[in-house]
Amino acid sequence: MNKINYQKQLEKILNEIDGQNLLLHSCCAPCSSYVLSYLSDYFKITVLYYNPNISDESEYNKRKSEQIRLISELPSKYPIEIIDRGYEPEKFFEISKGLEDVPEGGERCFGCYRLRLEKAAEAAKELGFDWFCTTLSISPLKNAEKINEIGNELAEKYGVKFLPSDFKKKEGFKRSIELSKKYDLYRQNYCGCVYSKK
């Protein structure tokens, strides 16, 4: 079976729209740097910071304050806002039960994508956004197929459009490293959860 090219799908949509509202789930400032610089030319973006996977709370707050600083310093065509849906680590431990020893990139991660994407879909519906999306596909360690599959499923469930992506394409990951250096962003050396720390 041919692999779906999510970057091509995204480009087609970007050619057809301008100035619509996007709720963008972000895992951290470094991953969002390229995504924000790319998409803010097309969308009025609100960043959703919802990451119950992060261990521990001080790390959560550190990543969040870097996210806020990046938004305040990054030039953009449309202003970028941010909302935070709170730190709920118990939600992450619920979905991780029995999957604690699964290596990074497996079932636990799929549940972790879903947890965060579902919050984004829910909030997008509640707040009247045209689209929702996530920065997660920028990481070479994340499964873009799964992220898009879950996003499309939640779009159906909540009745909000999901913006397809594979942000690592077109040197997106490389650009995120360059932008992180430019803005002197704190770049963590583990994905987020206590299991990825080990």
**Residues interacting with ligand SF4, by CB under 6 A?**
53, 104, 108-109, 112, 191-193, 195-196
Interatomic CA distance for residues 84 and 39, integer angstroms? 20
Q: Which is nearer to ligand SF4, 29 or 80 (CB)?
A: 29
Q: How far is the CB of 14 from ligand SF4 (least distance, A)?
A: 26
Q: Which residues contact 30 (CB under 8 A, 6 or more apart)?
A: 66, 176, 177, 179, 180, 185, 186, 187
Q: How far is the CB of 186 from ligand SF4 (least distance, A)?
A: 17
Q: Which is nearer to ligand SF4, 31 or 160 (CB)?
A: 31
Interatomic CA distance for residues 162 and 55, integer angstroms? 28
CB distance 21 to 55 below 8 Å: no
Q: Which is nearer to ligand SF4, 42 or 195 (CB)?
A: 195
Q: How far is the CB of 172 from ligand SF4 (least distance, A)?
A: 18
Q: Which is nearer to ligand SF4, 11 or 104 (CB)?
A: 104
Interatomic CA distance for residues 21 and 10, integer angstroms? 15
Token pair belonging to 90: 């118990």
Q: Which residues contact 49 (CB under 8 A, 6 or more apart)?
A: 26, 64, 67, 82, 83, 84, 85
Q: Which is nearer to ligand SF4, 135 or 196 (CB)?
A: 196
Q: Which is nearer to ligand SF4, 91 or 169 (CB)?
A: 91
Q: How far is the CB of 33 from ligand SF4 (least distance, A)?
A: 18
81 SS3 class: strand
Cα distances (angstroms) measured from residue 175 to each of 37, 40, 89: 10, 15, 30
Q: How far is the CB of 25 from ligand SF4 (least distance, A)?
A: 13
Q: How far is the CB of 193 from ligand SF4 (least distance, A)?
A: 3
